[in-house]
Amino acid sequence: MTSTVQVDRITVAYGKDRPVLRDVSAMAVPGRVLAVTGPSGAGKTTLLWAMAGLIKPQEGSVTVDGHPISERDQAVADGVVLVPQENGLAAILTASENVQVALIANGAAPADARRRTAEALDQVGLAGQADQLVEELSGGQQQRTAIARGLALRGNVLLADEVTSELDAANRQKVLDLLHAEARRGAAVVFATHDPQAAAACDAEIHLVDGCATIVRS
């Protein structure tokens, strides 16, 4: 299954603070990687969270194939996978357990979860670290474990929030290639990044400045 995410003129504020996204529209379509760029604090994570159903816009809407997404449960049911900026891993589980638990929670049979976990960890170059506790992994290895978890889930939509920030050049390229491979598989991929070169290699780009979006390429 493939899905299109439509963000239509959303305004998002945290509590009573001034909005951090204002009248922002974006579209993520199957088979393409959309880069979300902009300086620190511009609202990239907030936009991905709205697309993931983790934060509800005060105005405007987020839909996946026309279904309004206002709750995380709805987004999960629609196959929206988020690889968060802070990785979201359980430190006291191994890399492999972190991926398997997510797959089983998502309905995979244990044998299938084990196979997909091994495959995803191998894709990010962590086959040798599968049984290591996350708290014993380096920052970059943790980041790659979170990416492996996101890939193993095989979502219709993959939201990747600055997932290359702690990686060396070789691993950064490997992860970028994997994001593009996810798009070729049919996923709609959204990639928040500070890296202009990585953004330039994406199929489309929106640039946020102080909560306002400009379409750089569509």
Least distance between ligand ATP and beta carbon 210 (Å): 9
Q: What is the DSSP letter of 19?
A: P
Count CB neighbours of 76 within 10 A: 18
Whichever of 12 and 179 has its CB closer to ligand ATP, that residue is 12
Least distance between ligand ATP and beta carbon 21 (Å): 8
Whichever of 162 and 182 has its CB closer to ligand ATP, that residue is 162
CA distances from 1 to 4, 20, 61, 66, 154 (A): 11, 33, 22, 14, 10
- Cα 38 to Cα 25: distance, rounded to the nearest angstrom: 15
Whichever of 49 and 154 has its CB closer to ligand ATP, that residue is 49
19 in Cβ contact with 12 (< 8 Å): yes
Could you list the residues that contact ligand ATP (CB under 6 A)?
14, 17, 20, 38, 40-46, 85
5 in Cβ contact with 51 (< 8 Å): yes
Whichever of 10 and 120 has its CB closer to ligand ATP, that residue is 10
Least distance between ligand ATP and beta carbon 201 (Å): 19
Least distance between ligand ATP and beta carbon 22 (Å): 11
197's tokens = 């070169």
